[in-house]
Amino acid sequence: MKASIAVRAHLTPTSASSRYSKARPAFAKFSIWHRQAAELLQTYREQGYFAPVYVDSFELFLVLTGTEWPERYDSPIVGLFLLICDLAINPTRGFPLDIEFFEDFIRDVDPGARFTRLCLAAAETPELAQAVQNFSAQEYEHVAARLSERCGYDDPRTGLAAVVGLLGDKGPVDALMEEHRTFNYAGVNMPVRVLVSHFIAFCRDKQRSPEFFCWPGIWMAGDNFNPEAGSLFVTHLSLFQDRGDTEQIFPRAVRGRSPENIKKLVNTFFGGMLVFDLALQWVLEPGPFRYDFKWLTGKSENAALIALASDSSRSTTARILTPAL
């Protein structure tokens, strides 16, 4: 592509899924920052480390489970809360598992509904409040299975196995994961290819190490840290990162991927997003197209991107509307 694309990040925590996903790293960070300290968790609270968006879901968890604010950041109560967040934001029905009872679909997949039901299930099994002692894979699997069964949800291992089971037949999914290995993605539907391949890679590693993805802070500091945890952390970093001196975000240097493929990825990925944006306007919004790409570049004037988006949209539309010969 002729235009290089830089991206502006937006953080708008408006959904239940956003709230619970943001609460998890907030608590996990304290394990990283203060793993060897003996300070009370209440100290962090009094010093204002917990903003409302982070602490609201934790306080709701305490109310629903009938538990007290813990004294330590590595308390079993914190471990249980993070495990419930993990289950709440990772439903299985619809994808990768089939919907069996459509009347239960909202209950099965909505993060807020799942969070509430899982907390109530924990309240009905009070022994689970002290079940997370070592933050181990065995504890994760035991508590997750107990809570999921009580709520009528799938065991998280079932969903992970369904995704990982797509691999290994040398078919299109294996070919997609080879693209993920090098970042040399095919241009067709690249944003979808990138997101799906990263999701499969996430599921593959989470199946092996569920404890790391539920409690990363515990495994990234102190005596628990090991090279495998460090490798998992680096492998699953975000593709893009921001800087303090600009509104834009930039591609991250990723281990094992060439600079050429990373540059191709960012340009083609966000070029595809421009086409998706125009297609959405074409289908749903009356009137002329709006070429507002400040969300992408951080700039009000984007003549090169407008030309690129128009050309890409026209060529994509032509391919769709032209009958195959």
Half-sphere exposure of 110 (CA within 13 A, CB side): 10
Cα torsion 28, 32, 35, 39 to 10°: value is -70
Q: What is the pLDDT of residues 93-110, one digit of tens each?
A: 999 999 999 999 999 999
Counting as low any pLDDT under 50, the low residues of the chain are 1-15, 33-38, 324-325
Look up residue 260 and give its amino acid: E
Query: Which residues, listed in sequence order, are joined to residue 248 by a DSSP beta bridge?
Result: 8
Residues 6+ apart with CB under 8 A from 137: 209, 210, 211
Tokens at residue 323, please? 């009958």
**How far apart (Å, rounded) are the C-alpha atoms in residues 248 and 265?**
17
159 Cα distance to chain centroid: 16
Q: Residue 72's pLDDT is what?
A: 85
pTM: 0.80
**How far apart (Å, rounded) are the C-alpha atoms in residues 259 and 252?**
10
DSSP 88-154: HT---BTTTBPPS-GGGHHHHH-HHHHHHHHHHHHHHSGGGGG--SS--HHHHHHHHHHHHHHHTPP
**How far apart (Å, rounded) are the C-alpha atoms in residues 154 and 318?**
44
**How far apart (Å, rounded) are the C-alpha atoms in residues 187 and 176?**
12
Q: Residue 3's pLDDT is what?
A: 37
CA gyration radius for the chain?
22
Q: Residue 325's pLDDT is what?
A: 43
Q: What is the pLDDT of residues 29-56, one digit of tens each?
A: 555 544 444 456 777 777 877 777 778 9
Contact 162, 97 (CB under 8 A): yes
40 Cα distance to chain centroid: 29
Q: Residue 314's pLDDT is what?
A: 64
Q: Residue 134's pLDDT is what?
A: 96
Give the SS3 label for residue 251: strand
**How far apart (Å, rounded) are the C-alpha atoms in residues 260 and 86?**
35
Give the SS3 label for residue 8: strand
Give the SS3 label for residue 7: strand
